[in-house]
Chains A and B, each alone.
Chain A
Amino acid sequence: MIEETRNETRPEEAAESARKAWSEPRIEAIRGSDAAASFRGGANIDYGIYS
């Protein structure tokens, strides 16, 4: 099993650069009471992984 896994070539790796694509750094300022609400509850996400 280990040998077969080791020999496989992932198509994603073959097609993509080994390094991440650079994009211009972006900063956005959000004003007022909407600011925190613009972030969904990242601290409460369970996304079903453990269900």
Chain B
Amino acid sequence: MSSSSSDPSLEGRFRAIPAQGFAEDDRLGLLSPVSGELIVLEGTARRIWQKLEYPARLDEVSAALGAEYDAPVETVIAGVRSIVPRLLDEGLVARATGGSDPNRDRYLRLLKRALANTLYPELELQIGFLARGGEGLSGMERERYLRDIEERRPEDLAMLIAAKQEGGSPWRFPHSMIGLFRLGNIEHCAETVFAENIEGDFLEAGVCRGGATIFMRALQVAHGETDRRTWVVDSFQGVPPSDKAVDRRYDVHLDESVSPWLACSERRVRDLFVRYDMLDSNVEFVAGWLAESLPAAPIGPLAILRLDVDLYSSTYEGLDLLYDKVSPGGFVIVDDYASFDCCRDAVDDFRDRHGIVEPIRWIDRRSVYWRKGGAA
């Protein structure tokens, strides 16, 4: 298929660029950095934006969607070409510059979806159905319901996919609970680090099953940056009890007795790295509560610091022990900023006390990041 339009402004490759994202059913909301409006993409508009996750020509996007949808290809081309100029105007899509590697892009696209489990979402619906007792069905009737669960429960499937886009509950089953917006944010930070040669390793504290750190290592490997290390920091026994004075101010309790799914052993995380073929000598594990384990760990400069440790004490300790290691131009990502007041307070207090003025940017409704100043 070739482009049917002569509009030269739509020739070349385009790519979606990071913006705060919202997801609900088949709707996607993106906060425009240009107009400040929430740009809502529905149905096929959402699919067009998704197809621009990596650099692509519009005729390539149209060809892919033409195979996906029951429509004349001219109709699809016209639809794509009607939407992209608007996304360009809103700063949500940009002309892609530089080289790209389509195979790497496909690998990373697939990996994100494996980690968030948008590849087999029907299994999660089936588990839920069975956990509810099969709604009174048995025998062949139940087998057919399980087989057809995507058609039987389309609204649940749409909500599940939206939750996986945005990173929220239900989060028990996927290898990463942070969702596609936040995985994309890690990728955006890593690409910037690689492109600008920002010094340092990648580190996440509070890894749960390790999905985000597996993706960090995959980005290093896929971009040929294997000399950088990935630090996997966790108690490997869940969130600590909220018994410190600073944590008792908040009614947040996430320890293993309350949230068993947040506790994952180091053995299991290592096994998951092996499954994804990402365990090598530059993946470093640091086990223990942050205040005890981090001071003794031989952690050098960091290009990406990602904190997902929920509580005030853990978040503040993580920043206190690691922020100075973040290189100029490096990134700090805080997963729980809007999930828990305690996390937001810890970040705001740390930034206030250390005079950090770099602007906080939103990734989705829960998570934020900022870029440390001083890059050459």
- The answer to whether B48 and A49 touch across the interface, beta carbons within 8 angstroms, is no
Residues of A within 8 A of B86 (CB): 27
B35 contacts partner chain A, Cβ-Cβ < 8 Å:
yes
| Nearest CB in chain A to that of B129: its residue | A49
* Beta-carbon contact of B40 and A43 below 8 Å: no
Q: Is the CB of B29 within 8 A of A38?
A: yes
Q: Is the CB of A1 within 8 A of B42?
A: no
A45 to B41, CA, bound (A): 20
Looking at B23, B75, B166, the one whose CB has the most chain A CB atoms below 10 A away is B166
A3-46: which residues lie under 8 A (CB-CB) from chain B? Answer: 4-5, 8, 10, 12, 17, 19-31, 35-36, 38-46
Interface string of B160-202 (1 = CB under 8 A from A): 0011011111101000000100000000000000000000000
Task: Name the contact of B163 in the complex, choosing from A1, A4, A45 (C-beta under 8 A).
Answer: A45
- Any chain A CB within 8 A of the CB of B125? yes
B151 contacts the other chain (CB 8 A): yes
What mask results when residues 80 to 93 of chain B are scored 1 for a CB within 8 Å of chain A, else 0?
A: 10110011000000
Tell me whether A46 and B41 are in contact in the complex, defined as CB-CB below 8 angstroms, given that A1-B143, A5-B140, A39-B23 are known contacts: no
Q: B101 at the A/B interface (Cβ < 8 Å)? A: no
Measured in the bound complex, the distance between the Cα atoms of B365 and A42 in whole Å is 10
Decide: B40 and A28 in contact? CB cutoff 8 A: yes
- Which B residue's beta carbon lies closest to that of A25? B45
Residues of B within 8 Å of A46, CB to CB, are 169-170
Given A1-B143, A39-B29, A49-B124, list of 7 further CB < 8 A pairs? A5-B143, A22-B44, A22-B71, A28-B40, A40-B24, A42-B165, A49-B128
Interface size of A by CB at 8 A reads 36
- Given A8-B144, A50-B128, are A19 and B69 also a contact pair (CB < 8 Å)? yes
- Using A35-B31, A42-B162 as known contacts, say yes or no to A30 and B40 having CB atoms under 8 A apart: yes
> What 1/0 flags go to B26-50 for Cβ under 8 Å of A?
0101011001111111111100100
Q: Which 5 A-B pairs have the closest CB atoms?
A: A43-B168, A49-B128, A22-B71, A35-B38, A25-B45
Q: Check if B364 is an interface residue, CB within 8 A of chain A.
A: yes
Given contacts A10-B148, A27-B39, A39-B27, contact A50 B45 (CB under 8 A): no
**Complex Cα–Cα for A5 and B69 (A):** 28
B94 near A: Cβ within 8 Å? no
Complex contacts, B162 vs chain A, CB 8 Å: 42, 45
